């Protein structure tokens, strides 16, 4: 990836678009579309100023009278952070919070102490206002990590504070380097009922050191995530700001019933592989009302890598991504894959707002992946200055090792994309299926791509499906009306 200067100006203005903004934003969107429909007939479209300015007057989620349309309730028991019987503060464990030195041992001691209340009504660890430098520590079950207003947890700059752990079975090795991988800053394995929340406190991975190791090619082991939860159930992450993850920011893997909502996730726009949220071999995941700007996909759904993912056979399924907005100049709003060897199915993505990005919606696979991507529904998407609004790709020859199976052909079937408005893209959709495995039931409905430089074309290869109410005119592969019946 080419290093670019981070451009924070636009992003920070747009940051106000985070969750309080949704209702006014919708109204603006409606007027935006009304203006749009009047203007398109005559001249190149130029919309009203971004809704960011108006959005700041929105009320915080807590002040809403009615719950928002659609919500993650049902994915996490009770829908909101549970009351815990025992609540203690980092100060009770001798924590200082002055940022002067790592307090890793204090975090670890606190969790060890609170673990014993797991079966007795659960526990909560409060992190008070202040700066808390720490190495990696683990969470426990029936537990809440609560960051009070003004609390900042900073990742230690000593790589030894992020010890090496085993690779994931579905990857067979670290994603970037062979062998083990650095543990995440905040980690959990085999937990039930774990919550990370607070009054918009910050967890900052201080990832710069790690990005530099990546850029200067001296990284020895795969970088750690900011938060990784493995084999866990009933997980809630909400109402916080996560910054500067060394690698993918939030990585739930082999988990179920995961809610991630009301989050702000930020990294410099050139920070390598700083994906926002990557549900990986997880089921029942709900991601809602998040603002994300970073150097890689805002949200990427995955399920393991080639022969390791095939053997693990743990799909990602029943995933909802709703009201996510943000920007990533070299990557995508929402990505599915390319690691998809355990299968990805039943994904709903709606109310997505992406700007100044390389792609809006991206589906990626590769030969050797095996697995499948099926029953993906994407609707109500707004894109501004997104280079390629919709992109399917068949691979970049990216494999864990020589052991990948060239006969492991991935299948892509049932991708329904509707109600998309894109303004000022530079290319039409690029939809590349595989010759050995054409993508099937690719359905496009009510898609308007404005301001594309003529001659505008959809580029399609090795796929079939249908298109209805799509402009500019889609590729012939999607004009086959006889396949309409097999589309949702």
Ligand X SMILES: *[C@@H]1O[C@H](CO)[C@@H](O)[C@H](O)[C@H]1NC(C)=O
The site for ligand X (CB under 6 A) is made up of: 15, 18, 20, 33, 44, 46-47, 60-62, 108, 118-119, 137-138, 141-142, 149, 165, 187, 189, 192-193, 199-200, 209, 212-213, 216, 218, 239, 241, 264, 318, 346, 348, 375, 380, 384-385, 419, 421, 423-424, 446, 451, 464, 479-483
How many Cα neighbours within 13 Å face the side chain of 118?
A: 14
Q: Which is nearer to ligand X, 142 or 393 (CB)?
A: 142
Give alpha helix (H) positions in 77-176. Answer: 104-115
Residue 353 and residue 382 in contact, taking contact as beta carbons nearer than 8 Å? yes
Q: Which is nearer to ligand X, 218 or 397 (CB)?
A: 218
Task: In angstroms, give the least distance from the CB of 404 to ligand X.
Answer: 27
**Other beta carbons less than 10 A from residue 74's beta carbon:** 11
Task: In angstroms, give the least distance from the CB of 391 to ligand X.
Answer: 19
Task: In angstroms, give the least distance from the CB of 271 to ligand X.
Answer: 13
CA 75/CA 238 separation, integer angstroms? 13
| 296 flagged as catalytic | yes
If we measure between CA atoms, which residue out of 165, 252, 251, 155 comes closest to residue 207?
Answer: 155
Considering the candidates 280, 296, 297, 366, report the single residue annotated as catalytic.
296
Q: Which is nearer to ligand X, 123 or 338 (CB)?
A: 123
CA 449/CA 430 separation, integer angstroms? 13
How many Cα neighbours within 13 Å face the side chain of 4?
A: 14
Q: Which is nearer to ligand X, 89 or 231 (CB)?
A: 231
Q: Which is nearer to ligand X, 392 or 404 (CB)?
A: 392
Question: Residue with CB nearest ligand X?
Answer: 118
Give alpha helix (H) positions in 40-152. Answer: 52-55, 104-115
Task: In angstroms, give the least distance from the CB of 68 to ligand X.
Answer: 12
If we measure between CA atoms, which residue out of 321, 313, 320, 305 comes closest to residue 368?
Answer: 305
Q: Which is nearer to ligand X, 137 or 247 (CB)?
A: 137
Q: Which is nearer to ligand X, 69 or 403 (CB)?
A: 69
Residues 6 or more apart whose CB falls under 8 angstroms from that of 59 comprise 20
Residues 6 or more apart whose CB falls under 8 angstroms from that of 386 comprise 333, 354, 355, 356, 357, 358, 359, 360, 422, 425
What is the per-residue DSSP string for 256-315?
Answer: EEEEEES-EEE--TT-TT--SB--BS-EEEEEEEEEEE-SS-SEEEB---HHHHHHH---
Q: Running DSSP on this structure, what letter comes out for residue 371?
A: S
CA 114/CA 137 separation, integer angstroms? 13
Cα→Cα distances 375→237, 328, 343, 387, 407, Å:
26, 26, 11, 25, 23
Task: In angstroms, give the least distance from the CB of 384 to ligand X.
Answer: 4
Q: Which is nearer to ligand X, 18 or 267 (CB)?
A: 18
Residue whose token pair is 């607070």: 198
Q: Which is nearer to ligand X, 18 or 378 (CB)?
A: 18
What is the per-residue DSSP string for 461-482?
Answer: ESEEEEEEEEESPPPGGGB-GG
If we measure between CA atoms, which residue out of 105, 161, 93, 102 comes closest to residue 132?
Answer: 102
Task: In angstroms, give the least distance from the CB of 312 to ligand X.
Answer: 17
User: 336-357 burial by CB neighbour count: b if 16+ within 10 A, else e?
Assistant: bbbbbbbbbbbbbbbbbbbbbb
Task: In angstroms, give the least distance from the CB of 405 to ligand X.
Answer: 27
Task: In angstroms, give the least distance from the CB of 437 to ligand X.
Answer: 16
Task: In angstroms, give the least distance from the CB of 421 to ligand X.
Answer: 5
**Other beta carbons less than 10 A from residue 31's beta carbon:** 12
The total number of residues written for the chain in this structure = 488
Point out the residues that are catalytic: 296
């Amino acid at each position: 990836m080419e290093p670019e200067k981070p451009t924070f100006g636009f992003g920070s203005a747009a940051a106000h678009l985070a969750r309080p903004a949704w209702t006014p934003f919708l109204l603006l969107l409606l007027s935006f579309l009304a203006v749009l429909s009047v203007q398109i007939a005559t001249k190149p479209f130029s919309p009203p100023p971004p809704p960011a300015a108006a959005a700041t007057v929105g009320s915080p989620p807590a002040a809403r009278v009615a719950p928002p349309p659609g919500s993650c309730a049902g994915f996490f028991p009770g829908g909101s952070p549970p009351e815990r019987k025992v609540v203690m503060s980092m100060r009770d464990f001798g924590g200082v919070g002055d940022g002067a030195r790592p307090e890793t041992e204090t975090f670890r001691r606190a969790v060890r102490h609170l673990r014993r209340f797991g079966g007795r009504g659960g526990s909560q660890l409060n992190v008070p206002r202040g700066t808390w430098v720490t190495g990696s520590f683990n969470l426990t079950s029936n537990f809440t990590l609560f960051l009070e207003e003004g609390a900042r947890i900073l990742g230690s700059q000593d790589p030894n504070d992020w010890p090496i752990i085993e690779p994931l079975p579905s990857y067979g090795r670290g994603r970037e380097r062979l062998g083990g991988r650095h543990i995440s800053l905040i980690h959990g394995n085999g937990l039930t009922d774990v919550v990370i929340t607070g009054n918009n406190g910050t967890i900052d991975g201080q990832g710069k050191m790690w990005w530099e190791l990546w850029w200067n090619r001296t990284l020895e082991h795969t970088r750690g995530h900011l938060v990784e939860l493995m084999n866990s159930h009933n997980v809630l992450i909400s109402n916080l700001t996560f910054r500067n993850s060394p690698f993918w920011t939030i990585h739930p893997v082999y988990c179920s019933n995961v809610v991630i909502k009301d989050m702000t996730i930020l990294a410099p726009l050139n920070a390598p592989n700083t994906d926002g949220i990557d549900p990986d071999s997880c089921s029942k995941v709900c991601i809602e009302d998040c603002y994300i700007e970073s150097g890689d996909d805002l949200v990427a759904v995955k399920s393991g890598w080639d022969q390791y993912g095939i053997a693990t056979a743990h799909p990602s399924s029943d995933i909802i991504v709703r009201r996510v907005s943000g920007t990533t100049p070299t990557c995508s709003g929402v990505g599915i894959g390319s690691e998809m060897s355990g299968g990805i199915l039943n994904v709903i993505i709606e109310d997505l707002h992406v700007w100044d990005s390389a792609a809006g919606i991206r589906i990626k696979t590769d030969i050797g992946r095996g697995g499948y991507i099926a029953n993906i529904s994407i609707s109500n998407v707004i894109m501004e200055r997104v280079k390629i609004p919709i992109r399917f790709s068949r691979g970049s020859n990216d494999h864990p090792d020589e052991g990948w199976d060239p006969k492991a052909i991935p299948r892509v079937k049932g991708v329904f994309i509707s109600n998309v408005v894109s303004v000022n893209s530079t290319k039409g959709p690029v939809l590349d299926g595989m010759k050995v495995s054409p993508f099937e039931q690719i359905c496009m409905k009510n898609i308007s791509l404005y301001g594309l430089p003529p001659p505008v074309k959809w580029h399609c290869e090795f796929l079939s499906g249908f298109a209805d109410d799509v402009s500019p005119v889609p590729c012939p592969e999607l004009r086959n009306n006889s396949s309409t019946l097999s589309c949702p």
